[in-house]
Amino acid sequence: MHDINREVIETFLYREADLLDRWQLNEWLTLFTRDAYYQVPPLDARELPPEQALYLVDDNYERLNSRIKQLLKGNAHAESPVSRTRRAVTNVMFALQPNGEVQVRANFIIHRVRRELLDVYMGRYDHILVQTDGKLQFRMRKAVLDLEALRPQGKVSIII
Amino acid sequence: MPQSFAGLVEDDQDNGLFRVNRRAFIDPAVMEEEKRTVFGQSWLYVGHESELPEPGSFVRREVAWRPVIMVRDEAGTVRILFDTCPHRGNTVCKEAAGKTKRFQCFYHGWTFNTRGELISVPDSAGYGPGFDKKNFPLATPPRVETYRGLVFMSLKADIVDLVTYFGRAKEYLDLILNHSEDVEIVPGQQSYSMRANWKLLVENSIDGYHAMMTHERYFIDYMEDLGGSSKDWESIVAPIPGNTGIELDSGHAVIENPIGKLPMSANAAQHLGKVRAELEAKFGREYTERMVGFSRNLFIFPNLIFVQNFRTVRTFYPASPDYLKVNAWALLPKGEPAAIRRLRHDNFISFLGPGGFGTPDDVEALENCQRGFAVREMEWSDISRGMKRPPTSSDEIQMRAFWRRWYQCLYPSYAPQMERPVPAQVAAVPNRRAA
Ligand code: FES
Ligand SMILES: [Fe+2]
C-alpha cells in the first residue's frame, strides 16, 4: 500500500490527463476497477443521481470498454481522425475515507481542436479512487461540466 | 418577394427524381423567410405539462427565437407568457425553472401574476389617468393548445386546431404515447448545437439510410459488445415487410421498421414483458404488436421529432443558416422502479445525445455537409431514393414530405403533390412483422 499523499494523487491525475491527451486509451482503461463508472451529469441537474436524471454519460465498465474500442477503431466519426486535446487539472483536493476510498475533487479545463474549431470544456472532477494491489484506480470518474449548454461544442465525443 | 424562392425544390415524380437546391441551406434570405412562414405559420412544441407539477411551477424556454415562460397558474391552467416586460423590455423570469407566485421585473419593479397580469407598479402616482394596469399584461402567443400533455403554441392566430394540424400523424403520435398512461419529462435536458443548417437535422432525424453506415459503431460494434448480433438491426435497411417510410399530411412523416435489440431489451426483459401484457390487456394483441414491435421516428413539421425507441422528444431552431440549437428530453413512464428508470436512461443515452454512440457522429456528418455546401459548383442535393418502389425507412420519401411542405411555405404558388397513396397494408394491417 502506498501512502496517500498529495504527490501520489496529483501524479495519478496528471498521468491520466497525459494518457488521454495522447489517446492511449487502452492504457487509460487499466486505471478503472471493474465496478467503476465514468459519468457526466446533465448540465441542468448536476446533483441528481443517474436514476433521477438523464446523464450525458453514465458508462459502466462494459460500456466504457466499448466506447474506448470504438474510439480507437476509426468508425467513431466525430473523433476520426482524433481531435487534439490539452488538459489542465488544478485545485486538487482529496480526502481519505474510513473505508479506504479516496475522494478527489479537482478543476479541469480541456481545450479541443479539430478542423480549426476550438471547443472548451471546463468543470470539476468528483472522483472516487481505490487502491488495488498497491495501485490507484478509479471506482468513480465523474466530470461535472460548468457549461449551461453544449453550445457550440455540440458533443462530448472525447473523454472529458 | 416570394418569387425569389422559386426553383429551390424540384419534384419530378414521373422520372423518380427529387432534388433540393443547396441555396436552401446557406442563404440568409431563406432563413428570414423560414422565420416568417415555416416557423411563423406552424404549431411549435413548447414543453410538457409534467414539467409543471404544481400551481406556480414554471420553466423558461426559447421558442421561435422568443423567450417564453411556460407556467401553471394558480388555478392549475398551463399558460405560455412571452418573457418581455411591457414597460421597457427586460425579461421578467430570472430562473430557468422553479415555482413562484409572481414574476417581478427587477429593472423598475413591475410585477405580474402567473396569469401574466400586471398586479403592481412601483410609485404608480407617476402615471396619469389613462394608464390602466389592465392594459399591460405580459403578451401571449396568439394560440396555445395541448395534446395529451404536449404543449404547443402558434404565432398564427387563424391556424387550424392542433389535432387537425397533426392530421394522420395523430395516429402515429398515439402509437408512441399509448406506450404509457402516465409519463413525465425527466430532469436532464440535452441542450446542444450543430454547426449546420437546421434542415439537415430534419433529414437526419428520419434517415434510415445512414443508420448502418454512420452508426456502425452502435448498430454493429456496440450491439456485439452487448452480446447481440450485428444482423439485429438489418431491418432498417432491408426492404422487408414493416420497414416503411410514410409521407403524412402537411409535411409530417414517419419511419418504421421491425424493432431490433436495444440495450435494455435483455436486462429489463421481465419488466418489459409485464408492460407488454398490460398493453395487450388494454389495447389488444394486434395494436400492441404495432406499438412495441416497431422502431418508429415521427416527424411533426417543422421541427419536432419523437424517437420511440428512446422516448425522445427533440426540437431545434436555426440561429443562423449554418448553426442550429437542439433541445431534447426523455419522456418516460412515471412510477417505475429506480433501476428500470436508469435502464431507460442508459437506453437513451447509449445512442442519443452529446455523449452517446450515435449523435456525435450525426453532428460530424451534418457539419461536414454544411462545409460541403461552400462548393457552389455543386448546386443540388439529391433526395430521390425510393421514389419508384414501396418506400422503406431507408428511402427518402419522409424527407420529401418535409421538403414539399417547406417549399410550399417559401413559394406559395407551388402546389405539392403527395407521392403516392399510402400502401394499403400500412393503414390496414397492424401486424406487419411477417416471417
Ligand atoms: S422594464 Fe420592466 S419594469 Fe421597467
Ligand atoms: Fe444518425
Half-sphere exposure in the Cβ direction for A156 (13 Å, CA): 31
Show pLDDT as tens, one digit a residue, over chain B (435 residues). Answer: 445 899 999 999 999 999 999 999 999 999 999 999 999 999 999 999 999 999 999 999 999 999 999 999 999 999 999 999 999 999 999 999 999 999 999 999 999 999 999 999 999 999 999 999 999 999 999 999 999 999 999 999 999 999 999 999 999 999 999 999 999 999 999 999 999 999 999 999 999 999 999 999 999 999 999 988 878 888 888 888 999 999 999 999 999 999 988 988 888 999 999 999 999 999 999 999 999 999 999 999 999 999 999 999 999 999 999 999 999 999 999 999 999 999 999 999 999 999 999 999 999 999 999 999 999 999 999 999 999 999 999 999 999 999 999 999 999 999 999 986 545 444 444 444 433
| Ligand in closest contact with the CA of B120 | 1
Residue B273 pLDDT: 95
Q: Tens digit of pLDDT for each residue in A61-85?
A: 999 999 999 999 999 999 999 999 9
ipTM greater than 0.85: yes
Question: What atom in ligand 1 is closest to the CA of residue B105?
Answer: 2
Going B333 to B337 to B342 to B346, the CA torsion angle's sign is negative
Which of B116, B147, B178 is the last residue before a domain boundary? B147
Identify the domain containing residue B307 by its residue range.
9-40+167-410
Summarised one tens digit per residue, pLDDT across range A26-65 is 999 999 999 999 999 999 999 999 999 999 999 999 999 9
**B77 CB burial (10 A radius; 0-12, 13-18, 19+):** exposed
Cα(B82)–Cα(B125) distance, integer angstroms: 27
CATH code at position A20? 3.10.450.50
CB contact under 8 A, A53 and B188: yes
Shortest Cα distance, chain A CAs vs residue B291, angstroms: 24
Instruction: Tell me the one-letter amino acid at B331.
Output: L
Hey, of B217, B329, B348, B362, which one would you mutate to test binding to chain A, going by the most A CBs within 10 A of its CB? B217
Cα(B189) to centroid of ligand 2, in Å? 19
Choose among B391, B386, B418, B414: nearest CA to B402: B418
* Residue A150, in any domain of the structure: no
Give the Cα separation of B18 and B209 in Å (integer): 16
Is residue B178 domain-shared with residue B303, that is, in the same domain?
Answer: yes
Does residue B433 fall inside a structural domain?
no
Q: Are residues B86 and B217 in the same domain?
A: no
CB atoms within 10 A of CB A113: 12
Tell me if residue B5 falls in helix, strand or coil: helix
**Nearest one of B255, B224, B246, B220 to B234, comparing CA atoms:** B220
Residue B357 DSSP code: S
Cα–Cα distance for residue pair B353/B327, rounded to 1 Å: 10
**What pLDDT is recorded for position B175?**
98
Q: Is B106 in the pocket of ligand 1 (CB under 6 A)?
A: no
- For residue B61, the domain's CATH number is 2.102.10.10
Give A113 to chain B, closest Cα distance, Å.
14
Q: Chain A partners of B194 at a C-beta cutoff of 8 Å? A: 154
Instruction: Return the half-sphere exposure (C-beta side, CA atoms, 13 A cut-off) of residue B72.
Output: 17
Ligand nearest to the CA of B194: 2
Q: Do B131 and B203 fall within a single domain?
A: no
Q: Closest ligand 1 atom to the C-alpha of B108?
A: 3
Q: Hey, how many other C-beta atoms are within 10 angstroms of the C-beta on A103?
A: 14
CB atoms near residue B286 (< 10 Å):
13
Q: Kindly identify which residue of chain A lies nearest to residue B371, measuring between CA atoms.
A: A115
Contact A152 B195 (CB under 8 A): yes
Cβ contacts (< 8 Å) between B354 and chain A: which residues? 56, 150, 153-157
Specify if B30 maps to a domain: yes
Sign of the Cα pseudo-torsion (B297, B300, B302, B305, in order): negative
Same domain, B216 and B259: yes
Closest by CA to B294, choosing from B435, B430, B150, is: B430
Handedness of CA B232, B237, B243, B249 (dihedral sign): positive
Angle, alpha carbons B5-B9-B10 (nearest 5°): 130
CA B23/CA A115 separation, integer angstroms: 23
Assess whether the C-beta atom of B138 lies below 6 angstroms from ligand 1.
Answer: no
Q: Tell which wins on pLDDT, A20 or B261.
A: A20
User: How far apart (Å, rounded) are the C-alpha atoms in residues B93 and B82?
Assistant: 10
Give A22 or B239, the one with higher predicted confidence.
Answer: A22
Taking the centre of ligand 2 as the mean of its atom positions, its distance from the CA of residue B199, in whole angstroms, is 14
Shared-domain flag, residues B254 and B399: yes
- Is A89 inside any structural domain? yes
Cβ(B231) – ligand 1 distance below 6 Å:
no
Q: Which residues surround ligand 2, an ion (CB under 5 A)?
A: B 362
- The answer to whether residue A100 is domain-embedded is yes
Cell 460494434, residue located: B221
What's the CA gap between B172 and B299, in Å, rounded? Answer: 10
B53, B421 in Cβ contact below 8 A?
no
Q: How far apart are CA A55 and CA B209, in angstroms?
A: 28
Question: What are the beta bridge partners of residue B193?
Answer: B325
Domain extent, residue A129, equals 6-145
pLDDT tens readout for residues A84-123: 999 999 999 999 999 999 999 999 999 999 999 999 999 9
Domain shared by B118 and B194, yes or no: no
In a domain, A159, yes or no: no
The mean per-residue pLDDT over the stretch A134-150 comes to: 97
For residue A122, the cross-strand partners are: A109
pLDDT of residue A101: 96
Q: In the prediction, which pLDDT does B427 show?
A: 43
Three-state DSSP state, B290 = helix
Is B138 found in the same domain as B191? no
Scanning every residue of chain A, which has its alpha carbon at the shortest distance from the alpha carbon of B187? A53
- Whether residue B93 is found in the same domain as residue B216: no
- DSSP letter for B95, please: S
CA of B347 relative to ligand 1 center, distance in Å? 46
Nearest ligand for residue B359 CA: 2
Count of structural domains, chain B: 2
Q: Is residue A52 part of a domain?
A: yes
**Chain B contact probe: residue of A77, A116, A117, A118 with most B CBs at under 10 A:** A77
Please tell me whether residues B345 and B399 are part of one structural domain: yes
Q: Is residue B434 part of a domain?
A: no
Question: Do B191 and A149 count as a contact with CB atoms less than 8 A apart?
Answer: yes
Residue A155 maps to a domain:
no
Q: State how many domains chain A has.
A: 1
pLDDT at residue number B117: 98
Q: Which of B94, B103, B110 to mutate to test the pocket of ligand 1 (most atoms within 8 A of CB)?
A: B110
Q: Are residues B239 and B301 in the same domain?
A: yes
Query: What 3 state SS string does chain A have?
Result: CCCCCHHHHHHHHHHHHHHHHCCCHHHHHCCEEEEEEEEECCCCCCCCCCCCCCCCEEEEHHHHHHHHHHHHHCCCHHHCCCCEEEEEEEEEEEEECCCCCEEEEEEEEEEEEECCEEEEEEEEEEEEEEEECCEEEEEEEEEEECCCCECCCCCCCCCC
Domain boundary among B81, B116, B147: B147
Closest CA to B117 of B100, B97, B103, B98: B103
Same domain, residue pair B312 and B401: yes
**Does B204 share its domain with B353?**
yes
Q: Which amino acid is present at B34?
A: E
Q: What angle do CA A119, A122, A126 make, to 5 degrees?
A: 145
Residue B161 lies in a domain: no
Does residue B274's CB lie within 6 angstroms of at least one atom of ligand 1? no
Distance CA B36, CA B155 (A): 10
Element (H, E) at B19: strand B17-21
3-class DSSP state of B402: helix
Distance CA(A122)–CA(A3), nearest Å, equals 30
Give the residue whose CA is nearest to atom 3 of ligand 1: B108
Name the residue with the closest Cα to ligand 1, atom 1: B88
Whether B420 is in a domain gets the answer no
Determine how many CB atoms are found less than 10 A away from the CB of residue B372. 12
Nearest-CA residue for atom 4 of ligand 1 = B108
Q: Which ligand is nearest to the CA of B110?
A: 1
A157 vs B422, which has greater pLDDT? A157
Domain membership of residue A138 (yes or no) is yes
Asked if residue B81 lies in contact with residue B74, where contact means CB atoms within 8 angstroms, the answer is no
Inter-CA distances, B318 with B85, B131, B226, B326, Å: 25, 39, 37, 9
